[in-house]
């Protein structure tokens, strides 16, 4: 892939395992790509410096299936990728939760639970993940709001 073909917010695959990610910065020789799934044994949400020659665009990245669910943010399914792509296009926040937003809320709740008692690099990685999810949903979500959302979901 050439630098001229890349743009910030673009969905790409990269590396030998074709990890999916989003371009967050374009540099002269490499792009900064934030992963949307685990890559080389590392958690999702990390930023990698990737040469343009090792990246490929995701075909149909804006039209992914919304019948899949996210089991965890570490290995997100397509609704999270779609939500991330839409957030990069400065979409306004939706008034009601839709399917993709429900998956993101579930991931936010899970990360808040994992943050309890975690320190150091693991806390930093989880904080980076939750910030990406906040951007995908279009606003910050407090822990109490995530807890209330999960409670309503489990009682309905």
Give the domain 3-57 fold.
Answer: SH3 type barrels. (2.30.30)
93 has a pLDDT exceeding 60: no
Question: What is the average pLDDT value for the chain, to the nearest integer?
Answer: 76
104 has a pLDDT exceeding 60: yes
pLDDT score recorded for residue 91: 52
Most confident of 26-35, 53-62, 113-122: 26-35
Give CA–CA dist 37/81, Å, rounded.
10
19 has a pLDDT exceeding 80: yes
Give CA–CA dist 149/105, Å, rounded.
8
Could you write out the three-class secondary structure of 107-144? HHHHHHHHHCCCCHHHHHHHHHHHHHHHHHHCCCCCHH
pLDDT per position as a tens digit, 49-92: 999 999 989 876 533 322 232 333 334 455 666 666 666 555 55
Residues of the chain with CATH 2.30.30: 3-57
Indicate yes or no: pTM above 0.75: no
């Amino acid at each position: 892939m050439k630098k001229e073909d890349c743009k910030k917010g673009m969905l790409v695959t990269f590396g030998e395992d074709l990890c999916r990610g989003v371009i967050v910065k374009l540099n002269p020789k490499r792009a900064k790509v934030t992963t949307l799934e685990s890559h080389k044994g590392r958690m999702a949400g990390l930023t990698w410096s990737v040469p343009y020659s090792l990246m490929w665009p995701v075909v149909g990245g804006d039209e992914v299936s919304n019948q899949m669910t996210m089991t965890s943010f570490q290995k997100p399914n397509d609704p999270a990728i779609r939500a991330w792509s839409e957030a990069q296009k400065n979409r306004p926040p939706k008034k009601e939760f839709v399917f993709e937003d429900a998956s993101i809320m579930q991931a936010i709740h899970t990360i808040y639970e994992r943050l309890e008692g975690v320190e150091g690099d693991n806390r930093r990685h989880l904080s980076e993940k939750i910030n990406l999810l906040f951007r995908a949903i279009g606003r910050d979500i407090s822990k109490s709001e995530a807890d209330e959302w999960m409670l309503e979901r489990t009682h309905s």
